[in-house]
C-alpha cells in the first residue's frame, strides 16, 4: 500500500494552540495512541471556532460535518509532552474545505492530519453550499 502524503500548506496558519499529552492519550506502547490524533484535531478545531465565537453547528451561519480524515505519523510523543498544533484552512470548494493540522513538540514534528469538512443542514440531512465562498 502506498503511503499517504500530506504536503505542508502554502497558506498562512489561522490558529495555533498548545495541547499537553495527558495519560488518556497514551497507549499500551507507552506513547501517544493513533486514535489520539483525531481527538486532538477536534479539540484544536473547536478552540479555533470558539476563538471566532462560532461552533461546528454554526460556522459562518451553517453547520459542519466531517467527511473524511487523513493522518501521517512522523514521530512518537509521550506523556507530559506539550504539543503545539498549527491549524490551516485549505482547498475551499463549493461545499466545504479542509482543515490541515501540523502537530509538533519543541523538538520534532509528530504528525500531520487533514479533515475534510462539509457544510451540512442537520434538519434536512443534506449538504449545503459553502457560505464562505458563496
* 127 alpha carbon, distance to own chain's centre: 20
Within-domain flag for 57: yes
Is residue 96 within 8 A of residue 118, CB to CB? The reply is yes
Within-domain flag for 133: no
The whole-model pTM stands at 0.94
Within-domain flag for 21: yes
pLDDT at 134: 61
Report the CATH number at residue 123. 3.10.129.10
Here the cell at position 75 is 514521530
Structural domains counted in the chain: 1
The CA distance from 56 to 88, in Å, is: 16
Structural domain span for residue 68: 15-127
The CA distance from 91 to 89, in Å, is: 7
Within-domain flag for 85: yes
Within-domain flag for 9: no
- Show pLDDT as tens, one digit a residue, over the chain (134 residues): 788 999 999 999 999 999 999 999 999 999 999 999 999 999 999 999 999 999 999 999 999 999 999 999 999 999 999 999 999 999 999 999 999 999 999 889 999 999 999 999 999 999 999 999 86
Residues 6+ apart with CB under 8 A from 76: 31, 32, 110
Amino acid at each position: 500500500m502506498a503511503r499517504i502524503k500530506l504536503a505542508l500548506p502554502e497558506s498562512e496558519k489561522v490558529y495555533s494552540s498548545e495541547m499537553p499529552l495527558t495519560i488518556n492519550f497514551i497507549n499500551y506502547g507507552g506513547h501517544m495512541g493513533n486514535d489520539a490524533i483525531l481527538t486532538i484535531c477536534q479539540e484544536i478545531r473547536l478552540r479555533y471556532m470558539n476563538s471566532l465565537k462560532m461552533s461546528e453547528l454554526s460556522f459562518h451561519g451553517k453547520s459542519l460535518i466531517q467527511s473524511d480524515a487523513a493522518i501521517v505519523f512522523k514521530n512518537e510523543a509521550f506523556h507530559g509532552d506539550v504539543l503545539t498544533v498549527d491549524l490551516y484552512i485549505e482547498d475551499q470548494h463549493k461545499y466545504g474545505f479542509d482543515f490541515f493540522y501540523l502537530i509538533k513538540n519543541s523538538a520534532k514534528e509528530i504528525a500531520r492530519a487533514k479533515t475534510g469538512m462539509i457544510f451540512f443542514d442537520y434538519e434536512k440531512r443534506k449538504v449545503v453550499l459553502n457560505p464562505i465562498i458563496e
